[in-house]
Structure 1
């Protein structure tokens, strides 16, 4: 009985969070178009972390050097908050960017260094390959399949 009560409470809390994610829009704090896209894609909790990175990208990141290696652009980005340089590799054709801080691999959101590179290159949306599905607003909307590979129902 206690287990059922705890599960009911957990479901209720999750439904409240889902409702908030679907029917409200977080406040935008920068002029970056990529921040608006992040608010549309990410859940509110993850968007707060992304927004903090976007704010820091404006005030703390500066270019320290730039080289081209074929179709790749390698930029050294100076982060004044951390007093370090980071290497950001960017491919304008595919919009793929990787940073030596490895934040996308560690946390699942792009770093301030990558946001700075995207905004300085006029990228207005977060590329699909940089969006981790579990942090999205619609993460729980996925189909379940039986052992034959046929869709049985949708999780909500």
Structure 2
């Protein structure tokens, strides 16, 4: 019984967060194109973190130097400042113009799982308006779980008789198409 209660709590939390991601319109204080793309891509919770990084990349980072392009790769030195705009750290960011990939010395993507402010600073400079596919990990995306996870037969004890299975499948389809119409 304790296991069932714990699983029900996790399912409830997952459904609530899924609902928030699908229905709550995020605020876009800067309304930057890459921010709009992130709002369509990421869950509501992660979007708030990505928005902070975009803002910090616009406000507290600047390109101090740029090396000449070599084989489609541009190397930038990004300076990170504090709130008083005093330089704190320098990071090196490599930007590949062919596939819009970045590699950076701060290791932010490896540590956090989403792009850091230094990457957004370089993307803004190079006018990249969308987050590249290689930086869209499945665990942060909207609708990563299949709709079957939230189906009636998975939510409640499964009735195996034909009428109950048919009714649950119809109800699942109604919920799925209603959610598509709302969004």
Question: Within the alignment, does 1:4 sit opposite 2:28 as a pair?
Answer: no
> Which of the pair has more CA radius of gyration?
2
Which secondary structure does the structure 1 equivalent of 2:131 belong to? coil
The answer to whether 1:62 aligns with 2:62 is yes
Check if 1:73 corresponds to 2:78. Answer: no
1:25 deviation in Å? 2.1
Once the 2 structures are TM-superposed, how far is the Cα of residue 12 of structure 1 from its aligned partner?
1.4
- Deviant stretches of 4+, over 2 Å: none
Deviation by residue 1:59-106 (Cα, 9 ceiling, x = unmatched)? 111111111222100000111137011101001111111111111111
Segments of 5+ residues of structure 2 without an aligned counterpart are: 151-183
Is the CA contact 1:108–1:131 (under 8 Å) kept in the aligned structure 2? no
Residues 75, 89 of structure 1: 8 Å contact kept: yes
- Contact 1:29 1:55 (C-alpha < 8 Å) held by counterparts: no
Out of 115, 124, 128, the position equivalent to 2:129 is 124
- Greater share of strand residues, 1 or 2? 1
Measured on the aligned residues, the alpha-carbon RMSD in Å equals 1.6
Measured after TM superposition, the shift of residue 155 of structure 1 is 4.2
Q: How many aligned residue pairs are there?
A: 145
Which residue number in structure 2 is paired with residue 94 of structure 1?
99
- Conserved? CA contact 1:71–1:91, under 8 Å: yes
Per the normalisation by structure 2, the TM-score is: 0.74
Structure 1 unaligned regions, length at least 5 = 143-153
